[in-house]
Amino acid sequence: MSTKTQPATRTLNLVQAVNEALDLALEQDPRVLVFGEDVGRMGGVFRATDNLQAKHGEHRVFDTPLAESGIVGFGIGLALAGLRPVAEIQFAGFLYPALDQILSHLGRMRHRTRGRYSIPMVIRAPYGGGVHTPEQHADSPEAILAHVPGVKVVIPSSPERAKGLLLAAIEDPDPVFFLEAIKLYRSVKAEVPQGYYTLPLGKARVVREGQDASLFCYGGMVEVCLKAAEVAAREGVALEVVDLETLVPLDTQTIVESVAKTGRAVVVYEAMRTQGFGAEVAARLAEEAVDYLEAPVVRVAGWDAPYPPFSAVEHHYRPDARRVLEAVRHVLTY
């Protein structure tokens, strides 16, 4: 962690940490612009941009029409003009109209111009379920985004990580998708350093050490895996929990080192199981850590169906500690 100011901390939830990061970025870099649907006077649907327009002005924090393709395309143009756009998409499930801009332009510009231009743009979006949202408000499209060459994909799991990673994403010279778990916005609080600091992109971190099996997860699933690890510990099983944090570029070294220690792996994510990002983690383990594995890699994920828009069945879709523990017992008894 690189810290530029005072080390003191204060307690924030994740959405407050995001707001503080945006405030600091706007304050320190006049090239930073924040825009999206309702981010101005309203302060965003989750209030992540609350009071930023009043503090920094309508020319730097402003609303856009309800047109996701236009938001991303507008940001690409701003970045090419030398600015640092930070766009908010109200929900990650609304990104699909912008896929043409994302696939055809956002990630290709550095390659297309032989390195003469890049797109230093951040696209923030809440993702995932757990709060009973309607249809398309709980989608987890990280695997789609991770498949786009030329972009980074970052998913924080705590307020402290969200602030430092978002500031690093805004400093990054290339486009970054910054996905924020809806379930964590106000359900978790933590001590967050005051002032401006960044955390390195492209690094996974071990949030709980163990010797019996590794749980690989990110975003809202870190909380679920930590709960499973607590239950397992009472049964005498020591689970290692690894927060991937950045999906692109993926920190394969930390993943392999964890499995070299435990010999068993469970990958947990809340997107649909088939061809979800967990398949990439399992493939990396097959390629680079098969000699360490004592059991097949198991995935715990959402089901191969659209996320249920009915709150009564949401808990059947989103992975929980019970399902993680079932997978752990499978790899331990293989």
pLDDT tens digit sequence for 131-188: 888 888 899 999 999 999 999 999 999 999 999 999 999 999 999 999 999 999 999 9
- Provide the sign of the torsion angle of the four alpha carbons 125, 129, 133, 138, taken in this order: positive
| 290: in domain | yes
Among 193, 228, 247, residue at a domain's last position: 193
Q: What is the rounded (10 degree) CA torsion for 279, 281, 284, 290?
A: -90
292 and 253, same structural domain?
A: yes
* pLDDT of amino acid 80: 97
| 4: in domain | no
233 and 143, same structural domain?
A: no
159 close to 16: Cβ distance less than 8 angstroms: yes
| 5: in domain | no
**Choice among 56, 137, 147, 316 that is catalytic:** 137
| 1: in domain | no
* pLDDT of amino acid 310: 72
Say which residue, 16 or 306, is predicted with more confidence: 16
101 and 16, same structural domain?
A: yes
Q: What is the tens place of the pLDDT at every residue in 211-235?
A: 999 999 999 999 999 999 999 999 9
Q: What are the residues facing 208 on neighbouring strands?
A: 241
Among 169, 193, 217, residue at a domain's last position: 193
pTM of the model: 0.96
Residue 6 has pLDDT above 60, yes or no: no
Q: What is the tens place of the pLDDT at every residue in 67-90?
A: 999 999 999 999 999 999 999 999
228 and 178, same structural domain?
A: no
Q: Rounded to an integer, what distance in angstroms lies between the CA atom of residue 59 and that of residue 35?
A: 10
User: Does the annotation mark 137 as catalytic?
Assistant: yes
Residue 239 has pLDDT above 80, yes or no: yes
Q: What is the CATH number of the domain that holds 212?
A: 3.40.50.920
131 and 61, same structural domain?
A: yes
Q: List C-alpha distances in Å: 312 to 127, 186, 317.
A: 19, 21, 11
| 200: in domain | no
* pLDDT of amino acid 4: 55
Among 162, 193, 224, residue at a domain's last position: 193
Q: Rounded to an integer, what distance in angstroms lies between the CA atom of residue 110 and that of residue 283?
A: 28
SS3 assignment for 207-276: EECCCCEEEEECCHHHHHHHHHHHHHHHCCCCEEEEECCEEECCCHHHHHHHHHHHCCEEEEEEEECCCC
The total number of structural domains in the chain stands at: 2
Average pLDDT over all residues of the chain = 96
Say which residue, 176 or 7, is predicted with more confidence: 176
Both tokens of 171, joined, read 């400093």
| 2: in domain | no
188 and 61, same structural domain?
A: yes
pLDDT band at 308 (very low <50, low <70, confident <90, very high): confident
Residue for token pair 């825009």: 35
Q: What is the rounded (10 degree) CA torsion for 187, 219, 73, 93?
A: -70
* pLDDT of amino acid 5: 53
Residue 315 has pLDDT above 90, yes or no: no
150 and 242, same structural domain?
A: no
Q: What is the tens place of the pLDDT at every residue in 90-119?
A: 999 999 999 999 999 999 999 999 999 999
120 and 26, same structural domain?
A: yes
| 213: in domain | yes
Domain hosting 83: range is 10-193
67 and 46, same structural domain?
A: yes
Short-list 313, 292, 289, CA closest to 303: 313
* pLDDT of amino acid 1: 52
| 269: in domain | yes
> H-helix or E-strand containing 111?
helix 109-112
Burial of 256 (0-12, 13-18, 19+ CB in 10 A): middle
